[in-house]
Amino acid sequence: MTHVRVKPWQDGDNAPPELLENMQARRPNGELIGIDRVLLKSFPLATGWNGLLGRVRAEFELPLEYRELIMCRVAVLNRAEFEWNVHKPAYLQAGGTPEKCDALRADGIASLFDGKERALLELTDQSTRNVEVDAAVIEKLKAFFGEQQTVEAVATVAAYNMVSRFLVALAI
């Protein structure tokens, strides 16, 4: 975080204790990471962000492996290395493979992904690159996942585009 474009929050700086506790509860060993420390420049932002992203990461029915797949692909498409470095290990732990990680960094969807994964990657690529998503992609997702998990997949793409754009803009 040596080139971050705003001064990150530092241990000992003022912050609502409940907000700090909630943010630390989402992190391994309770350690705040770079994005947390920048979010803490705005307590309302940090509060809302922590709630939204906490739910996307932990409460959706769409399996975690698929959510992490989406998060990794968004990171690649938006050149958000910090995001990639956080989510690649999480994807591997959730069931992804090193070969799939390599394929996510390549342009295009490799044949080693199954039909569900390819549909999620089509959604991610179209939404991230073009904003608009073909109706056929949504129909394919609904056939694989049902409506609730399709909504959750779209929300995961949208949420992590927000994350990557924040990270890249502020050089986190």
Q: What confidence tens digit (pLDDT) does each residue in 90-122 have?
A: 999 999 999 999 999 987 667 899 999 999 999
Res 107: pLDDT = 72
The ranges of the chain annotated as CATH 1.20.1290.10 are 64-169
Res 7: pLDDT = 96
CATH class, 64-169 region: mainly alpha
CA 98 vs. chain centroid, Å, equals 18
Give pLDDT < 50 ranges for the chain. none
Residue 46 is encoded by which pair of tokens?
């940090």
Res 111: pLDDT = 81
Burial of 98 (0-12, 13-18, 19+ CB in 10 A): exposed
Specify the amino acid at residue 3.
H
Res 119: pLDDT = 97
pTM: 0.94
